[in-house]
Amino acid sequence: MTIEERISKMTLDEKASYLVGKDYWKTKEYKDVELPSFMMCDGPNGLRKQEGKGDHLGINESIKTVCYPTASMLAASFDPELARELGEHLGDECQREHVSMLLGPGINMKRSPICGRNFEYYSEDPYLAGTMAVGYIRGLQSRHVAACPKHFAGNNQETQRMSGSSYIDERTLHEIYLAAFEKVVKEADPKSIMCAYNMLNGTYCSENKELLTDLLRDKWGFKGFVVTDWGASKDAVKGVEAGVDLIMPGISNDSAEYIADAVRSGKLDERLVDEACARIMRTMFWSRDGQPKDVKPSDDTTRESDYSFARKVAENSAILLKNEAHTLPLGKDEKIAFIGAFAEKPRYQGSGSSHINSAKVTGALACARAEGRNVIFAEGYDLSEDPEKDEVLLKEAAALAKKVDKVVIFAGLPNKYESEGYDRRSMAMPENQNRLIREIASVNPNTVVVLHNGSAVEMPWADDVAAVLEMMLAGDACGEAAVHLLYGDVNPSGKLAESYPMKLSDNPSYLDFGLENHDPHYGEGIFIGYRYYDKKEMDVRYPFGHGLSYTTFGYSDLAVDKVDIRDTDTITVSLQVTNTGDISGKEVVQLYVGEKNSKVARPVKELRAFRKIFLEPGETKKVQFTLGKRDFAYYEPALHDFYAETGDYFIMAGSSSRDIRLTADVHLEATEEIPVRYTINTSIGKILSTKKGREVFGPILQALTGGAAAAEEENKKENGSEAEAGKTEELDTDVLGETEEGAQYRQMLEMPLSSMVSLAGMPRSTVVDIVRKLNS
Ligand code: BGC
């Protein structure tokens, strides 16, 4: 039976009912039309399959399984291949557990370091988030398990997440908050997408036709089905009209009856119900048809191999933030103190719907002891922050620290600090931990800090300690991975997927984030993360893309195959990277693009490509990238599309966003202009910035302003642009010199055309005629 035949045999009530889940995790089944139910589960960093009572907050039991590093750590690997492998592991497990769809990945942008759910998201950079998610989705879906990127869109804080509205302008939305979604839809064909709880610019995402139909389906070509976030459906009929297909969870039949009644009363077109049914069924049969029939359930062997893979992800993602005087790696024969409750019981995942019931978790202390390392231990701080206990623990730890060669403090954010459902109150770590770190560093100069946290923290002690290893939330094999990295069995290669500002108030969303009685207005626009800190020339604690290695890398021979391009061209950028140290290691080569004198506000640089490469000592590899129009473009609201303007661009290759090693210049010519609707109040400068404007108004202006125009000609000559002189070309206000005529000319550029009437005595009818010609 085809999907269409099934739908034609179902009654209206059955079809409406199919659009609402059967329970917490499943769709309904209809035996008469051979329509089985299918199961979906959270994700994204493990399988949260609930066989008993369901919930979406991480409260009730789920099956025992493996917890992988969360998205914020995976992103730091800068390795989409690793994300693909993770998707495959999860896909295999879903097959074994008869799960057809995994609710992830989470690809919202980190607008603020204190969004409670940052640990579940990849980055502050849409290109990095999109690229990692494409890898993950391709891996998962290669096993015929549907991915469900979430939460679409503008869900960047937990405060008011189910009731508030994110106000985001069109350019910022497309350039920052939608770009990762666009990338995954266009490149990875996700079979589903989850719409967010919140409103976007005043309309609930679950009722937002502009978002779910006009953009997602009609413009981007999304082929899957849209599921609501759990409980995000408000008005089910408005939802179906907007493009929602499946309402989850299914607790009562109320929404189904409401939808069927709306069809009966002529309020809702039955065709929309049929289309939604068909879209859910297409994904369901795609997943059924591709899954092997005789997979065995998960067992100790599969869990062991998944656990080893979780360790591999953690080892490839941990970030060495600081390493003075080669404090790390720790020596085999050195006497080491591990200090901190997290050394015994690491914090390795976040709270909420992504919470995994781990079969086995390893702490660093137990691993180090099992591997025979020379390690002693003190608890250091009390996780419940009891001041009396802290006093005792601090003294004990300081005494121990004096007796050893080096100290490793395991610190970070306790569970309750970071969770789905609420935002962090600040970016600070618990004060008892900050105090411990300062005191230990003052008695032992070889103090190393290992951090467990899902997103950026303030590190007031960063200058006092010798080394910092950021382990983030590293999954079940957290402790083993930490020990291997600390002792140099594995060379760190992670890079920060988010900036670590000095303090929370440096972050541009600070004034408007997480307020109970105020909807967030994304006033900082496109300037989030490094886009902001770079533009403001602000110091950060650790920049986006930063991460050290136990070896060093040299960059050379940056070359671009064309330096004068049109926006329709692609260019090839290549460079050589050499391992200049004496151990093997991996480097993430990052490619940023920036525009020199843009006419719109743009970041200094934006990540447009990256590649992680492995190099033996002394080895050199050539790395090559291709850049196209979108890599030079910004989103132009007048076009409702991306636009690469004519201008000079920098191509920057580096080891982090603040460690640019090589730069090349490229000049780009736009093949089309942004259409301008001229009025009598359009400024003269704006008119002269377009070809049409120069053609129509250039000669008139020449005739009117002989003196100033001559000064402008003179300026062009003085500035070496003879070729330009004499032509009615676009005026470069930069080359207008310091002469009085030049200054007057600049002032004139700001005047509206209508001022020609009062200031130059031009008849109004002539001005109107000029406007008509400009618009013709
Ligand atoms: C979360 C989703 C999750 C869903 C199901 C919601 O509260 O926002 O990310 O997939 O619950 O548990």
DSSP 308-373: HHHHHHHHHH-EEEEEGGG-PSPPTTS-EEEESHHHHS---S-BSTT--EES----HHHHHHHTT-
Q: Above 60 in pLDDT, residue 712?
A: no
Give 727 or 213, the one with higher predicted confidence: 213
Give mean pLDDT, residues 636-665: 97
Query: Is residue 512 in contact with ligand 1, taking CB distance under 6 Å?
Result: no
> Residue 593 — pLDDT band, cuts 50, 70, 90?
very high
Q: Whose CA is nearest to atom 9 of ligand 1?
A: 353
Q: What per-residue confidence (pLDDT) applies to 702? A: 84
The size of the chain, in residues, is 776
Tell me which residue has its CA closest to atom 5 in ligand 1: 56
756: tokens are: 């020609």
Predicted confidence band of residue 708 (pLDDT cuts 50, 70, 90): low
CA angle 382, 383, 389 (to 5 degrees): 20
CA 311 to centroid of ligand 1, rounded, Å: 26
| Interval 491-504 mean pLDDT | 98
Amino acid 711: pLDDT: 53
Query: Which of 23, 56, 194 has the most ligand 1 atoms within 8 A of CB, as the residue to mutate?
Result: 56
What is residue 739's predicted lDDT score, i.e. its pLDDT? 76
Q: What angle do CA 228, 94, 291 make, to 5 degrees?
A: 100
Is the CB of 103 within 6 Å of ligand 1? yes
In terms of DSSP bridges, do strands 659-669 and 647-656 run parallel, antiparallel, or are they unpaired?
antiparallel
**pLDDT given at position 723:** 43
DSSP labels, 500-564: EESSGGGSTTGGGSS-TTS--B-TTTT--THHHHHHTT--EEE-TT--B-SS-EEEEEEEES-SE
pTM: 0.95
Residue 121: CB within 6 Å of ligand 1?
no
50 with 24: CB under 8 angstroms?
yes
Task: Report helix, strand and coil shares of the chain as percent, to nearest 5.
Answer: 35, 20, 45
Quote the ligand 1 centre to 149 CA distance (angstroms).
Answer: 11
CA 105 and chain centroid, separation: 11
Nearest CA to ligand 1 atom 8: 229
Q: What integer pLDDT is reported at residue 713 of this predicted model?
A: 53
Cβ of 230 below 6 Å from ligand 1: yes
Mean pLDDT taken over the chain = 94
Is the CB of 506 within 6 Å of ligand 1? no
What does the pLDDT read at residue 55?
79
Lowest mean pLDDT among 89-103, 290-304, 372-386, 399-413: 290-304
Residues 359 and 373: their CA atoms lie apart, in Å, by: 25
The SS3 of residue 164 is: coil
Give the confidence band of 738 by pLDDT, cuts at 50, 70, 90: low
- In the reported structure, the alpha carbon of residue 310 is separated from the centroid of ligand 1 by a whole-number distance in angstroms of 23
Q: Is the CB of 353 under 6 A from ligand 1?
A: yes
What band does 704 get if pLDDT is binned at 50, 70 and 90?
A: confident
Query: pLDDT tens digit string along 65-120?
Result: 999 999 999 999 999 999 999 999 999 999 999 999 999 999 999 999 999 999 99
- In the reported structure, the alpha carbon of residue 56 is separated from the centroid of ligand 1 by a whole-number distance in angstroms of 5
pLDDT of residue 145 exceeding 90, the answer is yes
Indicate whether residue 111 lines ligand 1 (CB < 6 A). Answer: no
- Ligand 1 centroid to 66 CA: how many Å? 19
Tell me the mean pLDDT in the region 218-243: 98
Residue with tokens 């759910």: 117
Atom of ligand 1 nearest to the CA of 148: 10
Task: Tell me which of 567 and 740 has the higher pLDDT.
Answer: 567
484 lines ligand 1 (CB under 6 A): no
Pocket flag, ligand 1, residue 158 (CB < 6 Å): no
Q: What pLDDT does 727 receive?
A: 45
Residue 742: band (very low, low, confident or very high) from pLDDT cuts 50, 70, 90: confident
Enzyme catalytic residues: 229
Q: Any residues with CB less than 8 A from the CB of 130 and at least 6 apart, and which?
A: 107, 179, 180, 181, 182, 183, 184, 187
Residue that is written with structure tokens 């009363």 in the block:
265
Q: What tokens does 741 get? A: 């005529």
631 lines ligand 1 (CB under 6 A): no
Mean per-residue pLDDT for 57-64?
83
Rounded to whole angstroms, the Cα distance separating 403 from 443 reads 10
Q: Which two tokens stand for residue 414?
A: 């306790």
Residue 229 alpha carbon to ligand 1 centre in Å:
6
From the list 307, 413, 442, the residue with the least C-alpha distance to 367 is 307
Q: Say if residues 641 and 630 touch (Cβ distance below 8 Å).
A: no
pLDDT band at 202 (very low <50, low <70, confident <90, very high): very high
Which amino acid, 768? Answer: V
Please tell me the residue having the least CA distance from ligand 1 atom 7.
Answer: 56
Shortest-distance Cα residue to atom 3 of ligand 1: 353
Ramachandran assignment for 123, one of left (phi > 0), alpha (psi -120 to 50 degrees), beta (any other) = beta
Q: Which two tokens stand for residue 154?
A: 């503008």
